[in-house]
């Protein structure tokens, strides 16, 4: 009886973080999507997940066994974010990475936060699922300026964080999300009229910016059930004479070349690089594939993301950036490696490339 009561209490505690169910209007749009087949969203090409129980056990065993240098051996030193001075806002283009896939874009007068996961753990239960690497908090949310938009790539916990959304919802004008994700935000108190849901190839115009929902090769879901009931995506962001590509989470696929042909070239790509394994390469790129994807979309400067915050795979925490730099050097690709919290001003001087993680 005591165990059952404890389980009920835990469920009631984590239930809000699980999110919500799509409205009738959202369900109707989901059913009309070309990406929605046989009751779930799917990438155009077969994208098998890890379903063999022997492979699942091998992965669990590897996690339990551990990986050398899977986490930093000392607290990470991060930069303190400072908003752009008022006199600079109209003309500057600034990019600030806060670890993992959280990126703040300040394009002229507009401020957009991509996948703002700033919580302690990518899990509905903070003490389960891997803690954020030790160090100074990546950002005091109170220091943020007003956000014209929060833009989400999908609903996994390491990208859509319940506590972070609770803190941001009163200082954000619009939430721009792939199909089905609005239900989670509404469950957490975000007004329906403040949310724009998009299918692949659909665009939102926001005060001088155009944000286009684009393809990605991944999956979705926040609970034991409902996998792939919401859409995942990448984003094309245009404004202030700049064109930026945000990959979200994705395995390598022909969609990158299609995006490059349709929307490229890009001044900047924010490309997934981390939390990979050959056993799940269909849904997370290897670093060498990240460089190839950057070339496929016709990218200029590459900033690797999806690393530097959590241990979600069996590789050393610095392997993603080291392997990417090696592949980029061979291919002649320009890479920017800012510290966590360091702001990069596009088009102003040499972008930071210090190997701060060594």
| Whether the predicted pLDDT of 10 surpasses 50 | no
In contact, 268 and 106? CB cutoff 8 Å:
no
Higher pLDDT, 141 or 115: 115
Proportion of the chain in helix, strand, coil states, percent, rounded to 5: 30, 20, 50
Give the C-alpha separation, 272 to 289, whole Å. Answer: 10
pLDDT tens sequence across 140-198: 888 899 999 999 999 999 999 999 999 999 999 999 999 999 999 999 999 999 999 99
Task: Compute φ and ψ for 10, nearest 5 degrees.
Answer: -65, -45
- Closest by CA to 147, choosing from 115, 107, 174, is 174
Band (pLDDT 50/70/90 cuts) for residue 128 is low
| Whether the predicted pLDDT of 129 surpasses 70 | no
pLDDT on residue 352: 92
Residue 111's SS3 state is: strand
Q: At what angle do helices 287-296 and 255-263 cross, to 10 degrees?
A: 30
Domains and CATH numbers, the chain: 98-345 (3.60.15.10)
Contacts within 8 Å (CB) and 24+ apart, 125-130: 125/10, 125/14, 129/157, 130/310, 130/311, 130/312
> b or e along 175-210 (b: 16 or more beta carbons within 10 Å of the residue's beta carbon)?
bbbbbbbbbbbbbbebeeebbbbbbbebebebeebe
| Whether the predicted pLDDT of 30 surpasses 80 | yes
Cα dihedral angle (152, 155, 156, 158), rounded to 10 degrees? 30
Q: Which three-class secondary structure string do you get for 176-189?
A: EEECCCHHHHHHCC
The percentage of the chain sitting over the pLDDT mark of 70, rounded to a whole number, equals 94
pLDDT on residue 300: 98
pLDDT on residue 127: 67
| Whether the predicted pLDDT of 4 surpasses 80 | no
The predicted model gives 265-271 an average pLDDT of 98
């Amino acid at each position: 009886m005591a165990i059952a009561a404890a389980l009920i209490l835990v469920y009631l505690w984590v239930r809000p973080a699980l999110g919500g169910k799509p409205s009738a209007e959202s369900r109707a749009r989901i059913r009309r999507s070309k990406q929605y087949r046989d009751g779930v969203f799917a990438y155009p090409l077969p994208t098998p997940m890890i379903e063999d129980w022997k492979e699942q056990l091998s992965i669990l065993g590897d996690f339990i066994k551990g990986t050398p240098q899977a986490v930093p051996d000392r607290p990470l030193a991060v930069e303190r974010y400072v908003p752009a001075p008022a006199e600079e806002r109209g003309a500057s283009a600034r990019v600030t990475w806060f670890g993992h896939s959280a990126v703040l874009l300040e394009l002229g007068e507009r401020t957009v936060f991509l996948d703002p996961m700033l919580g302690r753990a990518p899990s509905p239960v903070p003490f389960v699922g891997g803690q954020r690497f030790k160090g100074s908090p990546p950002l005091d949310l109170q220091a943020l300026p007003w956000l014209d938009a929060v833009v989400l790539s999908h609903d996994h916990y390491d990208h859509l964080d319940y506590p972070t959304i609770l803190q941001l919802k009163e200082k954000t004008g619009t939430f721009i999300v792939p199909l089905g994700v609005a239900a989670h935000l509404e469950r957490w108190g975000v007004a329906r009229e403040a949310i724009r849901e998009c299918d692949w190839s659909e665009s939102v115009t926001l005060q001088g910016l155009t944000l286009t929902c684009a393809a990605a090769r991944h999956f979705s879901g926040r609970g034991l059930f409902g996998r792939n009931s919401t859409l995942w995506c990448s984003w094309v962001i245009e404004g202030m004479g700049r064109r930026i590509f945000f990959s979200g989470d994705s395995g390598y696929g022909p969609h990158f070349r299609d995006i490059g042909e349709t929307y490229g070239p890009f001044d900047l790509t924010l490309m997934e690089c981390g939390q990979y394994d050959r056993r799940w390469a269909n849904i997370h790129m290897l670093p060498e594939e990240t460089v190839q994807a950057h070339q496929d979309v016709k990218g200029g400067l590459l900033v690797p993301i999806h690393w530097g915050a959590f241990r979600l795979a069996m590789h050393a925490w610095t392997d993603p950036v080291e392997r990417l730099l090696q592949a980029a050097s061979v291919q002649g690709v320009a890479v920017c490696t800012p510290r966590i919290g360091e702001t990069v001003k596009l088009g102003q001087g040499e972008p930071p490339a210090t190997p701060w993680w060594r």
